[in-house]
A = this chain, B = another copy of it.
Amino acid sequence: MTYCLAIKVNQGLVFCSDSRTNAGPDRVSTYSKLHRFKVGGDRRIFMLSAGNLATTQAVVAEVARDIENSAPNGLADARYVSEIADYVGQVSVRTQQKYVNSGPMGGFNAEATFILGGQIKGHEPELYMIYPEGNHITTSKSYPFLQIGETKYGKPILDRIIRSDTDYETAMRCALVSMDSTMRSNATVAPPIELLYCPADSLDNPSKYFCFEENDDYLVGLRKGWDENIVRAFNDLPGLAL
């Protein structure tokens, strides 16, 4: 399983992902699900992936090859991030069709879902969730985050905290808390946790990137603090008159 999320606040974009993949409980591996692409200085593009690992690897590899080969209509020459989302959707559908169209694979699930985000000079930062069918949705002012994979356990805290004007440190911390709730309730979502902040309108500045291992001091402190604070938040509630 997988849990990835991305948040669009006024200050920029936040991406967060776990790193566990599993094909059955005895085939557990660690793979990064946060992908960065080497493109020109006028753009910055990131991608998160969930679903069939063979599909996501093939899609990421094709996207990277297209950049190397300067293929037209790819990441390097798109005018809008939404055009890149269209392109990734097409690559994804084509990749899935390779495996599921043939007869003996009936019922095989090669689906993959992506979150694509970034900024092209002269435009706002943008986030898109690309469905297995190749189409995509974006965020809105009142719903400024997107999730893929095991999304439900970590959604309540995002619903409560994240607004468009949330500052980027709060958004990053909230992404980690959302990830922690998910890891606690689903054993197939696990560290290392990757966290990236891409500031808006500053294509020259580097993004801030963190990779938290299971026993990372900050992550352990955050988990412990959240545990204690949640229990206190609950205990402080008005009692039920019985």
Known: A153-B153, A155-B185, A181-B156. A225 touches B236 (CB 8 A): yes
In this complex, the interface size class of chain A, counting residues with CB under 8 Å from chain B, is: 35 or more
Determine which of B197, B229, B236 lies in contact with A237 in the assembled complex, contact meaning CB atoms within 8 Å.
B229
Q: Contact between A185 and B159 (Cβ–Cβ < 8 Å)?
A: yes
- Considering only residues 211-241 of chain A, those with a C-beta below 8 Å from chain B are 218, 221-222, 225-227, 229-234, 236-241
A208 at the interface (CB under 8 A from B): yes
- 26 A-B residue pairs with Cβ-Cβ distance under 8 Å, sorted by A, are A155-B185, A156-B156, A156-B181, A157-B230, A157-B234, A159-B184, A160-B227, A160-B230, A160-B234, A161-B234, A169-B239, A169-B240, A172-B240, A172-B242, A173-B234, A173-B237, A176-B240, A218-B238, A218-B240, A218-B241, A221-B238, A226-B234, A229-B233, A229-B236, A230-B230, A230-B233
Q: Which of A152, A157, A159, A240 has the most CB of B within 10 A?
A: A240
Known: A152-B152, A153-B155. A234 touches B174 (CB 8 A): yes
